[in-house]
């Protein structure tokens, strides 16, 4: 078209660093500053229509996949896909004696804004007896003053005998999010509390 121009912007630096350090044979520290996930396989297209809950996409980024088992619980509580474009992310995972632990923290950036999200996940588990354990989990997500979510819970597995096991998990959460109010044509912040639990008794 008349008057159109082709603009070549100057090359910009975008340096990223990834570190993996084995503190002990069983304890690993991972850190990433401005990580590049360009080589990760893209998600398959999904048709979205009238869904009540967000679509879940599986994690494919190596930084978050490695050691993800340390953060697993009977109920799926940790979704690392909520961390989209981190400025920095740090993960500490390992096992010492009967104690297993995982710590994940990240600062996530959003396009076209200076507001950042701060994310933290803490998982602790202690083994006892034969094939029994008790665990704790806590997560937090804060995005400026617009929304936050805090969650805490406990879970355990008790091997009562060779044929009988009992599993349980109970969690509670507190959230604040902005919702559009059509009556007032404004966005309003709302607080909400939630809970979830499960139990399973298995005799084989």
Q: Judge whether 104 and 94 are in contact, CB under 8 Å.
A: no
This model's pTM is above 0.85 = no
Q: Judge whether 152 and 142 are in contact, CB under 8 Å.
A: no
Number of H helices, E strands in the chain: 1, 9
Confidence band of 50 (pLDDT split at 50, 70, 90) = low
Residues 88-145: tens digit of each pLDDT: 999 999 999 999 999 999 999 887 788 899 999 999 999 998 899 999 999 999 997 7
CB atoms under 10 Å from CB of 183, counted, come to: 5
Confidence band of 40 (pLDDT split at 50, 70, 90) = confident
133, with CB counted inside 10 A (0-12, 13-18, 19+), is middle
Is 9's pLDDT higher than 60? yes
């Amino acid at each position: 078209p008349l008057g159109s121009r082709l603009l070549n912007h100057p090359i910009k630096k975008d340096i990223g660093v990834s570190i993996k350090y084995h503190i002990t044979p069983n304890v690993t520290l991972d850190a990433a500053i401005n990580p590049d996930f360009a080589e990760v396989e893209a998600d398959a297209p999904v048709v979205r229509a009238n869904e009540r809950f967000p679509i879940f996409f599986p994690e494919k980024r190596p930084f978050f996949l490695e050691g993800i088992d340390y953060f697993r619980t009977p109920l799926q509580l940790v979704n690392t896909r909520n961390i989209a474009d981190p400025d920095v992310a740090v993960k500490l995972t390992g096992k010492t004696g009967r104690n297993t632990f995982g710590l994940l923290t990240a600062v996530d950036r959003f396009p076209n804004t200076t507001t950042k999200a701060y994310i933290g996940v803490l998982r602790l588990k202690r083994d006892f007896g034969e094939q029994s354990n008790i665990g704790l989990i806590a997560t937090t997500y804060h995005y400026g003053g617009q929304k936050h979510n805090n969650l805490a819970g406990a879970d355990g597995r008790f091997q009562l005998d060779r044929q009988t096991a009992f599993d349980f998990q109970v969690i509670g959460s507190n959230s604040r999010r902005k919702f559009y109010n059509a009556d007032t044509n404004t966005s309003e912040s709302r607080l909400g509390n939630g809970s979830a639990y499960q139990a399973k008794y298995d005799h084989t």
